[in-house]
């Protein structure tokens, strides 16, 4: 896997024009920020001045998303003058990929030299204070997905036992709150729980997740954050609250059932606010 990470990173670097054909650095600057354009951040791609793009399907042995709403490509360019590389869509553990496949794209982002990773996701709200359409900055997480660091450790990527005392950068969280206030956006803060999915949570599971300290629950992100921190990259994360879970069988009211289409619809309504927030934050790192 270590060799595969290196080969994948090299392929992406060359195809995005970050090195010349002779392997020498070209005029294209190293991307400073990596962005995972998950649910709620799709509109941010339109704000990036794209210089190069690469579909996941063009990368040898690269995982490709099977989920609606995840386009599946890398884009390199500038955001408010800052060099960035973004992932339009991600793959998930529930799609049947091994966990090392799930985090391969983020491993590649780190290998391109980013110093900061911004991640986003759609999540169900566990806090009774949340409403559908809220944006939550992630202050910590609980990972219930297999840990991507299980297995042999490559010391060139990171240490065997990485510290996770601050998985999400406190200074970036403070910056997010300041920018949100300036933009008139209500920004929640809380603990994100990453579960395997793909089934939505039962009422009993909702009560359990709330009891162990969760404010929102989703099916991604935590493995990506773990490998980013393993490689010394600081992280800022956001959850777009697409529905609120009460922990009771009638939590959706009137026998209504939660669907992926509903998640996408709520995400689309709030994506402009989250994209504007992240775009401004990136300019002020």
Q: Rounded to two decimals, what is the model's pTM?
A: 0.91
Local structure of 103: helix, strand or coil = coil
CA–CA separation, 7 and 15 (whole Å): 12
pLDDT in tens, 76-127: 999 988 999 999 989 999 999 999 999 999 999 999 999 999 999 999 999 9
Structure tokens at 24: 């020498």
| 8 A C-beta contact, residue 73 and residue 63 | no
Give the three-state DSSP class for 47. Answer: helix
Q: Each residue of 183-233: pLDDT tens digit?
A: 999 999 999 999 999 999 999 999 999 999 999 999 999 999 999 999 999
Q: 158-174: per-residue pLDDT in tens? A: 999 999 999 999 999 99
Distance CA 7, CA 1 (A): 10
Res. 271: pLDDT tops 70: yes
Active-site residues, by number, are 39, 70, 92, 94-95, 122, 219-220, 243, 260
User: CB of 218 within 8 A of CB of 241?
Assistant: no
227-251 pLDDT, tens digit each: 999 999 999 999 999 888 877 765 4
Comparing CA positions, the residue from 44, 64, 53 lying closest to residue 12 is: 53
> 234: part of which helix (H) or strand (E)?
strand 234-244
């Amino acid at each position: 896997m270590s060799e595969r990470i290196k080969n994948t990173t090299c392929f992406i670097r060359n195809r995005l024009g970050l090195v010349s054909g002779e392997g020498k650095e070209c005029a294209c600057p190293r991307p400073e920020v990596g962005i995972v354009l998950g649910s709620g951040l799709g509109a941010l791609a339109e704000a990036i001045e794209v210089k190069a793009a690469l579909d996941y399907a063009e990368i040898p042995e690269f995982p490709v998303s099977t989920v609606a709403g995840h386009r599946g490509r890398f884009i390199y360019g500038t955001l408010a003058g800052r060099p960035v590389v973004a992932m339009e869509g991600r793959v998930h553990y529930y799609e049947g990929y091994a966990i090392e496949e799930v985090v391969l794209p983020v491993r590649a982002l780190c290998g391109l030299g980013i110093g900061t990773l911004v991640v986003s996701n759609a999540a169900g709200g566990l806090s009774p204070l949340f409403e559908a359409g809220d944006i939550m900055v992630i202050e910590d997480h609980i990972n219930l997905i297999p840990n991507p660091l299980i297995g042999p450790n490559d010391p060139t990527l990171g240490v065997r036992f990485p510290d996770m005392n601050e998985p999400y950068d406190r200074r970036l969280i403070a910056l997010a709150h300041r920018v949100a206030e300036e933009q008139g956006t209500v920004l929640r803060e809380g603990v994100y729980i990453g579960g395997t999915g793909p089934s939505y949570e039962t009422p009993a599971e909702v009560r359990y997740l709330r009891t162990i300290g969760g404010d929102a629950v989703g099916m991604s992100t935590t493995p990506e954050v773990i490998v980013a921190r393993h490689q010394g990259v600081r992280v800022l994360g956001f959850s777009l609250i697409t529905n609120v879970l009460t922990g009771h069988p009638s939590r959706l009211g009137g026998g209504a059932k939660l669907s992926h289409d509903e998640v996408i619809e709520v995400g689309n309504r709030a994506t402009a606010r989250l994209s504007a927030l992240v775009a401004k934050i990136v300019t002020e790192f």
